């Protein structure tokens, strides 16, 4: 037995060519026409009954070119040279010229259908006419083939366009081998030019999509930053006052011990603090809703530290504040940040600390403000990410850290021996006052 070797199989290139031909002739599809803003559609002030009607300049142009090709084809085939060589029927010439021009009308909406029509009609009609007239054939047929090839390059992917190019070149050879060079050159230029337009259009679309995504990401980041700002402000306002309210609500009945006067006094303090909390919340929301985030309402600062001391005292906590350096002319943002850090540190001490004493030290040293707040640690404190054992970490420390970082400062918080120490350093800009 003679060994004949492995059975020959078509290579990847041959399979790719076969798929391209199949898609071009049978299964391929074209992209839809570009949206109106890219097509030159215009709205015309029609009479009332026709309002809303738009003119598509691309299709109007195609219709005009098709009419010119049709009229030119009829005139060409009825010319003296053609009439002397071909005893034609005028109706046949009109039908053939119309068939040659029809792809120009179809190419914008259905470019592949227009090309398939031209593939059937132009070679067949040209062969019949060419048998009497010889090349070159009708100008309308040449114009239609080139414009349809361009449209296929613009609206079809590379595989379909390659199949269209190959089939068109084979058809040109079949029609007349003598004109194959100019025919193939024209088809190649038309398809490549259309494919280049398509590539540029796709690249522009991708760039526009990336820009839209970037804008969306920026808007999302801005929204997240705004939500973080709102959460930080509301946390600073609500957490402190609610801690004081909770402590007073628990301590008031014990202090009153059946004394209706002391009980009424304690409840009045709780009510006053609740109203103050609501007022500050409204103020914060009003500021955050202000135009472009402008702070139109007065913001707390270090001049209100005495109020923190008084509030803490009513809750049974002694807050001792010491300061050095000129603290009265700090920039508004620095004063607000310092106040919020002391306020949040006091709230944490009231919720989690041990003992009634909290000390806060504020030192202005040159171009920076140093803050240090100290309170005792509870007995069940554990050096875990949550801070207090069994407690879920809150947002207070993160909010203080963010506030300091926004000003270019530093923030640290953690246990030092038997104490919990919060330290922050805030740079002081030149906009004091």
pLDDT higher than threshold 90 for residue 142: no
What are the helix (H) ranges across 257-366?
260-288, 305-314, 332-352
Class of residue 221 by CB neighbours under 10 A (exposed 0-12, middle 13-18, buried 19+): exposed
pLDDT at 411: 93
**pLDDT tens digit sequence for 108-120:** 888 888 888 888 8
Around Cβ 425, how many Cβ atoms within 10 Å? Answer: 18
Which domains are assigned to the chain? 12-175 (no CATH), 302-433 (3.30.565.10)
Peptide bond into 136 cis (omega under 30): yes
Enumerate residues 6+ apart whose C-beta is below 8 A from 421.
372, 373, 374, 412, 413, 414, 415
**pLDDT tens digit sequence for 4-57:** 545 545 577 777 777 777 777 777 777 777 665 555 555 555 555 555 555 567
> How many angstroms separate the CA atoms of 431 and 259, rounded?
52
Mean pLDDT for all residues in the chain:
76
What is the 3-class SS of 42-79, one letter each residue? EECCCCHHHCCCEEEHHHHHHHHHHHHHHHHHHHHHCC
> 66-80, 183-197, 323-337, 343-357: which range is least confident on average?
66-80
pLDDT at 180: 78
φ, ψ of residue 321 to 5 degrees: the values are -115, 130
């Amino acid at each position: 037995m003679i060994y004949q070797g492995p059975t020959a199989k078509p290579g990847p290139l041959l399979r790719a060519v076969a798929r391209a031909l199949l898609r071009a002739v049978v299964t391929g599809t074209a992209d839809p026409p570009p949206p109106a803003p890219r097509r030159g559609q215009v709205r015309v002030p029609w009479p009332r009954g026709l309002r809303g009607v738009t003119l598509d300049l691309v299709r109007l142009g195609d219709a005009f070119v098709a009419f010119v090709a049709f009229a030119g084809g009829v005139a060409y085939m009825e010319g003296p040279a053609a009439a002397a060589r071909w005893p034609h029927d005028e109706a046949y010439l009109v039908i053939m010229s119309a068939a040659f021009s029809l792809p120009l009308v179809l190419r914008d909406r259905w470019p592949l259908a227009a090309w398939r029509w031209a593939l059937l009609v132009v070679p067949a009609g040209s062969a019949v006419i060419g048998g009497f007239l010889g090349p070159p054939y009708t100008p309308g047929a040449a114009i239609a083939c080139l414009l349809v090839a361009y449209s296929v390059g613009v609206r079809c992917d590379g595989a379909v366009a390659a199949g269209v190019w190959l089939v068109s070149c084979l058809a040109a050879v079949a029609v007349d081998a003598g004109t194959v060079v100019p025919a193939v050159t024209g088809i190649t230029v038309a398809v490549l030019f259309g494919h280049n337009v398509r590539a540029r259009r796709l690249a522009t679309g991708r760039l526009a999509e990336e820009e839209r995504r970037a804008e969306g990401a920026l808007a999302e980041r801005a929204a997240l930053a705004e939500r973080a700002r709102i959460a930080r402000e509301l946390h600073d306002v609500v957490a402190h006052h609610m801690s004081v309210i909770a402590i007073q609500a628990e301590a008031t009945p014990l202090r009153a011990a059946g004394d209706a006067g002391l009980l009424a006094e304690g409840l009045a303090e709780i009510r006053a603090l609740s109203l103050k909390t609501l007022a500050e919340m409204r103020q914060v929301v009003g500021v955050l809703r202000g135009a472009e985030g402008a702070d139109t309402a007065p913001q707390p600062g270090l001049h209100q530290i005495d109020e923190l001391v008084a509030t803490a005292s009513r809750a049974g906590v002694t807050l001792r504040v010491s300061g050095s350096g000129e603290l009265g002319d700090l920039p508004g943002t620095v004063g607000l940040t310092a106040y919020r850090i002391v306020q949040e540190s006091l709230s944490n001490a009231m919720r989690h600390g041990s003992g009634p004493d909290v000390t806060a030290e504020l030192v202005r040293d040159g171009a920076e403000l140093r803050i240090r707040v100290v309170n005792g640690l509870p007995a069940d404190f554990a050096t875990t990410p949550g801070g207090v054992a069994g407690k879920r970490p809150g947002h207070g420390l993160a909010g203080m850290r963010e506030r300091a970082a926004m000003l270019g400062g530093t923030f640290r918080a953690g246990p030092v021996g038997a104490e919990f120490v919060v330290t922050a350093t805030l740079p002081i800009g030149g906009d004091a006052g």
